[in-house]
Amino acid sequence: MNNHLLSQWEANAGAFAQLINGKGTPHHRKILNPCINRLMGDVKGKKILDAGCGEGYLSRVYTEKGANVVGVDFSPKLIALSQKKFADLDIEFLVADICQLDPLKDNQFDIVLCNLVLLNIECLDKSLQEFYRVLRPGGFLIFSVVHPAFNVYGPGRWELGEKIKNTGRRKGQYFVIDQYFTEKEFQVLWKSRKGDGFPQKFSFFHRTISTYVNQVIDTGFRLTILKEPLPIMDAKFFDRERRIPFFLVVKAEKP
């Protein structure tokens, strides 16, 4: 286990749980989750691993839809919060590192859901191998990451366009990206548009889309779909997210 990554999540656990607040941010609710829901399909009676479950709201969502969910996270603080928050529901929450899921037996899950976690870990290869191991044949993995090509906390940023003569204003705004092929760890201090944020920097690992996809294939999965979800129709303030994709979602099957 990588200790600096764990101590970042432990330090940010309270602020993260507050941000998610049992329902996710507007980006989750209006862009990512509708896509994830469609890919999950009918989960009634299915056994699901919520890998890197955070404060556990997706474990709750799929439990309420009739699934049997195990939520794992390496942060003892986040697991304690989930256990407390969702104590009235039949969800098993465990402290475990997704790079080494020793407590979990082989071939037992119908679905592994790993929402916005793989960009926070160093061991992409090991975690995919563990997901493959614990899935039953015919089961599938769904994971999402912040879109690797358009991540403002990584090699990209928004910039204002050209100066408009004699006005002091600028025309339009554009997403600028450089060093896309340089895969490395970034440390960011997260702040929302409203100005609230996390007390400590946390790491994420920039990787190219081909690294993610080829690692999935090399692990033995059959890639079934790749999605770059748009905001749902009633989401009014996602102008930028309608111009370039904010998330990348992958679904793959264990043959």
Ligand X SMILES: C[S@@+](CC[C@H](N)C(=O)[O-])C[C@H]1O[C@@H](n2cnc3c(N)ncnc32)[C@H](O)[C@@H]1O
Which residue ranges make up the site for ligand X (CB under 6 A)?
5, 9, 20, 52-54, 58, 73-75, 78, 97-99, 115-117, 120-121
How many Cα atoms are found within 13 Å in the side-chain-facing hemisphere of 106? 3
**Contact, 71 vs 94, CB < 8 A?**
yes
CB 253 → ligand X: shortest distance, Å?
Answer: 21
Residue nearest ligand X, CB atom distance: 54
User: What tokens were used for 13?
Assistant: 């656990």
User: What tokens were used for 56?
Assistant: 């556990």
Which one, 50 or 241, has the nearer CB to ligand X?
50
CB 248 → ligand X: shortest distance, Å?
Answer: 14
Helices (H), the chain: 3-20, 26-27, 33-40, 57-64, 76-85, 124-134, 209-219, 239-243
Which one, 97 or 241, has the nearer CB to ligand X?
97
* Residue position matching structure tokens 């928004």: 158
Which one, 62 or 221, has the nearer CB to ligand X?
62
CB 181 → ligand X: shortest distance, Å?
Answer: 24
CB 202 → ligand X: shortest distance, Å?
Answer: 9
How distant is the alpha carbon of residue 170 from its chain centre? 34
Which one, 99 or 111, has the nearer CB to ligand X?
99
Backbone angles phi, psi at 156, to 5 degrees: -120, 165
How many Cα atoms are found within 13 Å in the side-chain-facing hemisphere of 177? 16
Which one, 7 or 173, has the nearer CB to ligand X?
7
CB 90 → ligand X: shortest distance, Å?
Answer: 19
CB 251 → ligand X: shortest distance, Å?
Answer: 16
CA distance linking residue 209 with residue 149, whole number of Å: 8
Which one, 20 or 216, has the nearer CB to ligand X?
20
